[in-house]
Amino acid sequence: MNDPVDVLIIGAGASGAAVAWSLADTRMHILCLEQGGWMKPSDYPSNGRDWEARFYGDYSPSPNIRARPEDYPINEDNSPIKVVNFNGVGGSTVMYTAHFPRLHPSDFRVRTLDGVADDWPIDYDTLAPFFAENDRIMGVSGLSGDPAFPPKEAPPMPPLPLGRSGTIFARAMNELGWHWWPSDTTVATADYEGRARCINLGHCTPACAQGAKASTDITYWPLALRAGVELRTHCRVREITTNEHGMATGAVYYDKDGVEQFQGAEVVVIACNGVGTPRLLLNSASGRFRNGLANSSGLVGKNLMFHPYAQLYGYVDEPTDGNRAPPTCLWSKEFYETDPSRDFVRGYALQFVRGCGPIFEAVTSEAKGILPWGAEHHAVFRRLNGHRLGLSAICEDLPEEHNRVTLDPELKDSHGIPAPRVDYTIGENSAKMIEHGLARGRELLAAAGATNICINSPILYGGWHLLGTARMGTDPARSVVNEWGRTHDVKNLFIVDGSVFVTSGGVNPTSTIQAIALYIADQMKQRLANLFD
């Protein structure tokens, strides 16, 4: 029997780590259960000559392909976009591009501004101090003064270099008169808080061997552990338990030896992402909560938003940066805000990719049919390799209830827990947005002098952003958590991950997820005396 704790956090990724760190100053007994383990940077792919090949195996972003012991399977047969994530201390911050934009102010007022979806119960200004705090702890590199955002404090470090690829893109966008700006990124461009500066390993997404890319195992967690938070790894939670008063009492989990355990807690915080969180809530159904925990609205698992990515790439005569630099470097917000002249509402960000390595080049261009078999193979490969430029339109996905996460009736994980099933279709507004993004992408690549244009739309393994499945709101009939992250139904149960997003915006969400987690933790601290009222 484990001693009960004051706060039980489930999940040690982007949001769980931030909440653990923030709550630590209360001196409460805080425990985090994480289904994966600590990562070893010496195991990361860029340490070895097989660095690219491992992207298709044990460092695939898809949990179904990667299939590490800590991964759970996902039935995603009925979705044109497959879930990608990482399970371990640090969660998906171990395996992300470190592209770190914030949501824009307009993203919180979609109903008011554009008559679709819903407004958030909080706004950009509410989150602004938490964005800043998170930028400091994660360590953001960037450049202040972007006209696409409200004024904000200067990032702690200067931006990544433009490099050859960024310079080509910048010239093309200037020719077209489009906005662009160096991306905010959590890749350290200077030595920062114990992290060594980026040395351009290039293969950033499947974890950084240098430690220059911020993941919460090397940012928030060391701070939280030093402040007294306990982190228990290889512990997979099966369900959250409740008592006769409808309060959460703790969680049942399987420990590293596969033994079933119970952990009691006064407060439970879920931080398992937009797929893992509804899975856990739905699997915590009981006599009192027959449709799943905190699901009186019926919205747990519904309104899943992914961000469909419309990706294009082409080839220029001059050499690009290839795989020899962090892949993302710039963004453009030229098409981000609603434009009444278009046939869709809302918009998308463009993000730019410098290039790729030789194996990725060979595999993808052979699959596209532009790299032939036979005698011509060598000459064509030499024209392609090191000459690629890529970009993606990251499209705002509107919430639609039929896009959802449920429990699969048959598929189970290694502990026998029902796996999540994802049912998702791309909505009409998103489809029009994708077409617009592809047309603009072609325009831009043409301006850059690129030929052999290839398209992946949507990116099949592009379900990085798992949002909306336990949405935030003031109306218990239309939302799962209130405006400060507490579930409407269970007064000592909180959700702090991307599930609480009301709308998705058109940017990578990690910065906003973490700002929300810090905001909710701050709200909890301010309300400690009457947290359950």
Partner 1 sequence: MSVEMILTPAQRDDLRVVAAMMIPASADHDVPGADDPDIQADILATLGRDTGAVAAALDHLARLAGKPLADLDDAARDAVAKEFRATGGAAAATLSRVVLQCYYRDDRVLRSLNLELRAPFPLGYTLEQGDWSLLDPVKARPPMWRKVT
State the residues that interact with partner 1 by CB under 8 A: 44, 46-53, 56-57, 67, 104-106, 108-109, 112-113, 123-124, 145, 147-150, 160-164, 166-167, 170-171, 174, 179-182, 198-203, 209-210, 321, 323-325, 333, 337-338, 358-359, 362-363, 366-367, 373-375, 377-378, 382, 385
Identity of the residue, 111 or 402, whose beta carbon is nearer to partner 1 in the bound complex: 111
> Cα–Cα distance between 138 and 216 in angstroms, integer?
8
Distance CA 384, CA 357 (A): 11
CA-to-CA distance for 44 and 315, rounded, in angstroms?
A: 29
User: From the CB of residue 363, how many other CB atoms can be counted at a distance below 10 Å?
Assistant: 16
Q: What is the DSSP string of 458-498?
A: S-TT-B---B-TT-B-S-TTT-SB-TTSBBSS-TTEEE-SG
Structure tokens at 337: 């805000």
> Least separation, in Å, of the C-beta of 469 and partner 1?
25
For residues 324 and 412, which CB has a smaller minimum distance to partner 1 in the complex? 324
Asked if residue 24 lies in contact with residue 256, where contact means CB atoms within 8 angstroms, the answer is no
- Three-state SS for 389? strand
Instruction: Supply the minimum distance, in Å, between the C-beta of residue 261 and partner 1.
Output: 31
Q: Which is nearer to partner 1, 198 or 235 (CB)?
A: 198
Of the pair 93, 210, the CB lying nearest partner 1 is at 210
What is d(CA 298, CA 291) in angstroms, rounded to the nearest whole number? 8
Min separation Cβ 53 and partner 1, Å: 4
Smallest gap, in angstroms, from Cβ of residue 171 to partner 1?
Answer: 6
Shortest distance in whole angstroms from residue 85 CB to partner 1:
19
Smallest distance, partner 1 to C-beta of residue 170, A: 4
Instruction: Mention every residue, 6+ apart, whose C-beta is less than 8 A from residue 340.
Output: none
CB of 333 to partner 1, least distance (A): 7
Helix, strand, coil distribution of the chain in percent, nearest 5: 30, 20, 50
Count of Cβ atoms closer than 10 Å to residue 299 Cβ: 22
